[in-house]
Amino acid sequence: MYKHSFRVCFCFRRRFRTNVAEAPEDVKRVFDQYSENGTMNIDQLQMFLEEVQGEESEMKAHAIFDNLKHLNIFQRRGLRLEDFFRYLLGELNLAFSPSQGVYQDMRAPLSHYYIFTGHNSYLTGNQLSSASSVTPIIRALKRGVRAIELDLWPSSKKNGINVLHGGTLTAPVKLIKCLRAIKDHAFTASEYPVVITFEDHLTHDLRKEVAKMVTTTFGDILYVPKSEDLNEFPSPESLKGRILISTKPPEHTKVESTKEKPSADKRRDTADDDIWESTMSREDTDEDYLEEDDKDEEIVIPEYRSLIAIHAKKMKRGSNLQTFFNDIEKVSRLSLSEQELENATGNCGRDIIRFTQRNLLRVYPKGSRLDSSNYNPMLAWTHGAQMVAFNMQGYGKYLWIMEGMFRGNGGCGYIKKPDFLLNNSEQENSTSRSTSLIMIKRLKLKVYMGEGWDLEFGPSHFDFYSPPDLYVKIRIVGVREDTVVKRTIPIEDQWVPVWNEEFSFSISAPELALLQVVVLDHDTSGKDDFAGQTCLPVRELRSGIRAVPLYNRKGEIYKHVKLLMRFEFE
């Protein structure tokens, strides 16, 4: 115990007895079981790793001893309780470790994978007035994002190409800068392919310039398909280190039009209808205007069209979505807003799943999200949508879920979709049935304690006159049957809270199940204060007593804040 005081007024202080981090009773019992005379030798540590932690590597015990020796808490005879406790809270004993690398089969077509996807990847802030820059593109690529969206517009003099959110006050950035940034940072976090989706608002002359820029910038790493007539996408494995372009190809033939073309200013003002009209897709609106422009001129542009690896398709206005999903011969990409997807799943959910078995579905935030907020990605994932596009420049619980999903599979940016979304059998097309090789029916966990807030924050960060009252909110994110929220009781006035609370969760689809952990400071007079979060794939959690590092709101890991938890699977 140590004393912690808070100044209440000029002449009065409140003093609190604050405990220091010490091993929970379960840890003490385990240590007693696998030690002798107060020390644990290397053979006993190896036995603990095998029987409690589920780790069979004989080298692990030696690595732990070597690491503790380096930290100067190694004793010749073995580990003492304090040494053992510090190991359990250390970097060698994390509940989730991406060090296992990519373990899923990466040889299936792209349509068989969820792809870490950004929306308006160039924006630094809100959707209306923020600047466009290469900085958010670079940041997204470093976080493992594998699909970058760029909106292409003519410059003010119509002789150059800018990237910006059209019809808004967002400041532009030059396309060439974006392309160079992508080339320089595309494979920093992952060697698997990067898809660049163009929202094309250009004349055919400027498209020729785009083709030249793309070819010159990317050179041999640009994937150029041999044919447009693809019945199946290539695999992520075959596309390692490659850049792919995805956009709607220009039309092949010349068609005379009697319609009056809207002026350039009018097109610019009305192109982004997803901002102003929530019922209409921005992609569809833009392409309608482009079609009217292009019908009066020859627009073959082979040098541009040939670079498109993933062809984007659009539905004609008034056409039936269900018919569209079942009338695709060549593989392609379709974009829907989150609202359009929600409406479609009510009538043709199974058709969407069948469509995404061969084709790519991109879902993007509805236009009313001017603050660059995000939506729950689970509806899209459970219907097979591969490219669930998110605003990466913000933060919030849905972005934490997105980051949690793509921490899986070595953080490579590609996650294999569950078998029940790839099987054509009607019996298996259920979003609640698991065909995973890893059969997890139940997750049991125990939250022991937490530490590090006093090292990470100032004494009055949470409360002006007392230490925080911390509690843990635990949520399983997944299919409807699995989704549940539980919480510990708040521990009053403690920087090192000890909860010792157990929880149990039924898991029906472990491939889509995520464990979201949020620590909050209970506040009786207002909103509870944020104190850390993490989100982890359930099927990649490591069993046993484990350390769980926490992240801040922006997804940056804290240096000191972590929980000690125990995980068991049935």
Q: Given strand 442-451, what is the order of strands in its sheet?
A: 484-487, 470-477, 514-521, 529-537, 544-551, 557-569, 442-451, 498-506
Torsions phi, psi for 3 (to 5 deg): -95, 140
What sign results for the dihedral spanned by CA atoms 266, 267, 269, 273?
positive
Amino acid at 3: K
Active-site pick, 4, 62, 112, 165: 165
DSSP letters spanning 524-566: TTSPPEEEEEEEEEGGGPPPEEEEEEEE-TTSPEEEEEEEEEE
Residue with tokens 């004349």: 203
Q: How far is CA 299 from the centre of its chain?
A: 38
- 498: which residues sit within 8 A by CB, 6+ positions away? 19, 24, 448, 449, 491
Q: At 217, which helix (H) or strand (E)? A: helix 204-218
| List of E strands, 69-200 | 113-115, 117-118, 147-154, 161-163, 173-174, 194-200
Active-site pick, 62, 70, 112, 119: 119
Specify the DSSP class assigned to residue 79.
Answer: B
Cβ(389)–Cβ(147) below 8 Å = yes
- Tokens representing 196? 């660049």
Rounded Cα–Cα distance for residues 31 and 66 (Å): 19
Q: At 136, which helix (H) or strand (E)? A: helix 135-142
Is 70 exposed, middle or buried (CB count within 10 Å of its CB: 0-12, 13-18, 19+)? exposed
Rounded Cα–Cα distance for residues 472 and 561 (Å): 13
Looking from the CA of 474 toward its CB, the CA atoms found within 13 Å total: 21
Specify the DSSP class assigned to residue 106.
Answer: -
- 309: which residues sit within 8 A by CB, 6+ positions away? 223, 224, 225, 244, 245, 246
- Active site annotation includes 165: yes
Cα separations in angstroms, 340 against 275, 322, 504:
14, 13, 36
> Catalytic positions, please?
119, 165
